């Protein structure tokens, strides 16, 4: 049977695909449905037609799911920050568990899976310690009948789902930290009163592009990064004064200057316009320094759960040499150091390496050393790394794209007894695990962890052991 884009069909949503789309079937064809949750029956419009599947988006709800709940957020369905506030949390966990099983079977090629029950998150709201908000002149108008002045379409908020150029002008974010939300609301008032020019993503014009708020949940310290297209202290000074007068918890305000046509918010041009250049946060007994661009686990409280699981799964004996690759600010290596002989961390972002060294010093960790380098080639090019001991255990925590093939070759050559692979993308993790299995490793343990309730993201720990 032929299907046409734009055709409207009735669909029963059976489950969720990794990434958040509902899975349905129509005349034996798989249909991925945006905006559907398991148990719903929907009218949906076909948006893409591929050889083996269709994509569609929900138009109308015919039958409500028994697993549905009322979302607390007034912006749910428009804002792209959350996808599943309308789905019972136990069912969210069930779907994420099924997704990990499917990915490791289908992509990882593993038929007998040593997978544990997914570990849920105690705090299902207000858990994030970092949020990136966009300030735009392209506000999303939800109600076309709304009388909106055309000379003021400014918005401070998050991207509309599926749109890079439209911003939902939100009042608060329910997965953001409580203190960060208060600061966000104050910023909305300040920007409205100060008449600061927002950024236009289509035209690449404007001054203030993004605002990143980082919050130490245990320390109650705040870092704010104002991302602009040029340096202008005169414009930013009133914002800084109002914020620092109102919120004594603010420890750092940074101004990062990026070019208008840049696709990244990272820049070498960064100015401290108030206070320090970092905040601190605890994971368990350890205190970590976090700079504006340093990678740090976004859910501090659940990070302790994750790290305790890593320690438990690894079963350290105390005499091991550990490589902590993609180590960020050193949080996993520092957490594991007391259980092993020595830890060596490698990280590509220099500010993270600097933070990691300071974190080890501040926590009085003596048996750890950090190196700056790109893991694609650093084991060939860094003479210092050539002098250190080979690893008994390798801990991997790569970005979403997974591990580069060159790095995998190096990892396999080290012939470590154990590999602990921590991933925020079990799809690329399963791909990499498949390669490791083909090169002498066996999968012994798979432990999914929910770090981000109401989103499609899944954290997953995989333990591999060497046949030799």
Q: In what order do the strands lie in the sheet with 368-372?
A: 368-372, 342-347, 321-325, 393-396, 418-423, 459-466, 441-449
Residues 13 and 52 in one domain: yes
Average pLDDT on 133-152 reads: 69
- Beta-bridged to residue 281, according to DSSP, are 288
| Contacts of 252-255 spanning 24+ positions with Cβ under 8 A | 252/221, 252/222, 252/223, 252/224, 252/276, 252/277, 252/278, 252/279, 252/292, 253/223, 253/224, 253/225, 253/226, 254/223, 254/224, 254/225, 254/226, 254/292, 255/225, 255/226, 255/227, 255/228, 255/231
Residue after which a domain boundary falls, among 255, 283, 311: 283
Please indicate whether residue 73 is annotated as part of the active site.
Answer: no
Residues 47 and 119 in one domain: no
Residue after which a domain boundary falls, among 226, 248, 283: 283
Query: For helices 426-438 and 405-414, what crossing angle results, to 10°?
Result: 50
Q: Tell whether 40 is covered by a domain.
A: yes
Is the separation of the CB atoms in 318 and 337 below 8 Å? no
Lowest-confidence segment of 34-38, 73-77, 254-258, 454-458 by average pLDDT: 73-77
Supply the pLDDT for residue 468.
Answer: 56
- CATH number of the domain at 97, please: 3.40.50.150
Task: Check pLDDT > 50 for residue 435.
Answer: yes
Name the band, by pLDDT with cuts 50, 70 and 90, for residue 148. low
Residues 145 and 240 in one domain: yes
pLDDT: is 280 or 294 the higher one? 280
Q: Tell whether 212 is covered by a domain.
A: yes
Can you tell me which residue has the tokens 């929900």? 58
Q: Tell whether 3 is covered by a domain.
A: no
Average pLDDT on 435-455 reads: 97
Q: What is the DSSP letter of 335?
A: H
Is the separation of the CB atoms in 397 and 375 below 8 Å? no
Alpha carbon distance 114, 459 (integer Å): 16
Residues 269 and 360 in one domain: no
Q: What is the pLDDT of residues 39-97, one digit of tens each?
A: 999 999 999 998 899 999 999 999 999 999 999 999 998 888 899 999 999 999 999 99
Q: Tell whether 430 is covered by a domain.
A: yes
Average pLDDT on 286-307 reads: 92
Can you give the pTM of this predicted structure? 0.92
Is the separation of the CB atoms in 392 and 384 below 8 Å? no
Residue after which a domain boundary falls, among 254, 283, 312: 283
Supply the pLDDT for residue 320.
Answer: 97
Residues 266 and 353 in one domain: no
Pairing of strands 208-215, 130-136: antiparallel
Residues 111 and 209 in one domain: no
Supply the pLDDT for residue 28.
Answer: 86
Q: Tell whether 143 is covered by a domain.
A: yes
Task: Check pLDDT > 80 for residue 249.
Answer: yes
Residues 271 and 177 in one domain: yes
Residues 205 and 316 in one domain: no
Task: Check pLDDT > 80 for residue 230.
Answer: yes
Residues 180 and 195 in one domain: yes
Alpha carbon distance 234, 242 (integer Å): 14
- Number of helices (H) and strands (E) in the chain: give both, helices first: 10, 22
Supply the pLDDT for residue 340.
Answer: 98
- The CB-side HSE value for 50 (13 A sphere, CA atoms) comes to 8
Lowest-confidence segment of 66-75, 259-268, 426-435 by average pLDDT: 259-268
Pairing of strands 441-449, 459-466: antiparallel
Q: Which residues contact 149 (CB under 8 A, 6 or more apart)?
A: none
Q: What is the pLDDT of residues 201-220, one digit of tens each?
A: 888 899 999 999 999 999 99
- CATH number of the domain at 64, please: 2.40.50.140
Q: Tell whether 272 is covered by a domain.
A: yes
Annotated catalytic residue, options 79, 82, 121, 424? 424
Name the band, by pLDDT with cuts 50, 70 and 90, for residue 98. very high
Q: Which residues contact 90 (CB under 8 A, 6 or more apart)?
A: none
Residues 218 and 320 in one domain: no
Supply the pLDDT for residue 163.
Answer: 78
Task: Check pLDDT > 80 for residue 420.
Answer: yes
Q: DSSP H helical segments within 247-299, as ranges?
A: none
Is the separation of the CB atoms in 398 and 425 below 8 Å? no
Task: Check pLDDT > 90 for residue 351.
Answer: no
Can you tell me which residue has the tokens 């905040």? 279
Whether the CA torsion 48, 53, 57, 59 is positive or negative: it is positive
- The CB-side HSE value for 3 (13 A sphere, CA atoms) comes to 25
Q: Which of 451, 460, 459, 461 is nearest to 420 (CA)?
A: 461
Alpha carbon distance 449, 124 (integer Å): 13
Average pLDDT on 402-418 reads: 96
Q: Tell whether 318 is covered by a domain.
A: yes
Structural domains in the chain (count):
3
- The CB-side HSE value for 207 (13 A sphere, CA atoms) comes to 12
Q: Tell whether 290 is covered by a domain.
A: no
Name the band, by pLDDT with cuts 50, 70 and 90, for residue 262. confident
pLDDT: is 323 or 265 the higher one? 323
Q: Which residues contact 285 (CB under 8 A, 6 or more apart)?
A: none
Residues 454 and 315 in one domain: yes
Alpha carbon distance 23, 329 (integer Å): 38
Task: Let me know how long the chain is.
Answer: 468
Task: Check pLDDT > 90 for residue 460.
Answer: yes
Task: Check pLDDT > 70 for residue 194.
Answer: yes
- CATH number of the domain at 271, please: 2.40.50.1070
Supply the pLDDT for residue 144.
Answer: 46
Task: Check pLDDT > 60 for residue 447.
Answer: yes
Domain that holds residue 19: 8-68
Residues 355 and 231 in one domain: no
Alpha carbon distance 465, 468 (integer Å): 9
């Amino acid at each position: 049977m032929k299907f046409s884009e734009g055709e409207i069909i009735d669909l029963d949503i059976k489950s969720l695909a990794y990434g958040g789309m509902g899975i349905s079937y129509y005349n034996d064809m798989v249909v991925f449905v945006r905006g559907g949750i398991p148990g719903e029956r929907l009218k949906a419009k076909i948006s893409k037609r591929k050889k083996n599947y269709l994509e569609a988006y929900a138009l109308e709800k015919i039958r409500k799911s028994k697993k549905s709940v009322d979302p607390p957020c007034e912006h749910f369905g428009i804002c792209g920050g959350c996808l599943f506030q309308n789905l019972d949390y136990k069912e969210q966990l069930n779907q994420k568990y099924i997704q990990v099983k499917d990915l490791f079977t289908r992509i990882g090629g593993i038929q007998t899976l040593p997978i544990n029950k997914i570990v849920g998150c105690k705090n299902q709201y207000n858990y994030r310690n970092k949020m990136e908000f966009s300030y735009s002149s392209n506000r999303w108008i939800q109600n076309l009948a709304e009388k909106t002045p055309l000379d003021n379409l400014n918005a401070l908020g998050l991207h509309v789902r599926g749109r890079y150029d439209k911003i939902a002008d939100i009042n608060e974010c329910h997965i953001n930290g409580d203190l960060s939300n208060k600061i966000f609301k104050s910023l909305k008032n300040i920007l409205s009163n100060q008449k600061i020019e927002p950024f236009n993503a289509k035209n690449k014009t404007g001054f203030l592009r993004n605002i990143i708020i980082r919050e130490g949940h245990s320390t109650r310290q705040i870092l704010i990064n104002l991302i602009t297209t040029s340096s202008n202290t005169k414009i930013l000074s009133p914002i800084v004064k109002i914020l620092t007068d109102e919120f004594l918890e603010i420890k750092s305000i940074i101004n990062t200057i990026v070019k208008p046509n840049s696709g990244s918010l990272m820049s070498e041009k960064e100015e401290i316009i108030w206070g320090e250049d970092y905040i601190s946060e605890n994971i368990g007994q350890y205190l970590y320094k976090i700079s504006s661009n340093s990678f740090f686990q976004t859910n501090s409280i659940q990070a302790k759960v994750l790290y305790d699981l890593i320690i438990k799964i690894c079963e350290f004996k105390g005499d091991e040499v550990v490589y902590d690759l993609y180590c960020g600010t050193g949080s996993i290596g520092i957490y594991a150091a007391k259980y092993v002989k020595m830890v060596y961390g490698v990280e590509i972002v220099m500010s993270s390496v600097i933070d990691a060294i300071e974190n080890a010093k501040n926590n009085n960790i003596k048996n750890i050393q950090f190196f700056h380098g790109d893991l694609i080639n650093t084991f060939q090019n860094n003479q210092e790394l050539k002098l250190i001991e080979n690893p008994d255990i390798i801990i991997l925590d790569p970005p979403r794209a997974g591990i580069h093939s060159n790095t995998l070759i190096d990892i396999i050559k080290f012939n470590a007894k154990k590999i602990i692979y921590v991933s925020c993308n079990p799809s690329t993790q399963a791909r990499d695990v498949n390669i490791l299995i083909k090169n002498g490793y066996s999968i012994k343990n798979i432990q999914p962890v929910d770090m981000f309730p109401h989103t499609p993201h899944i954290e997953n720990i995989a333990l591999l052991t060497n046949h030799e």
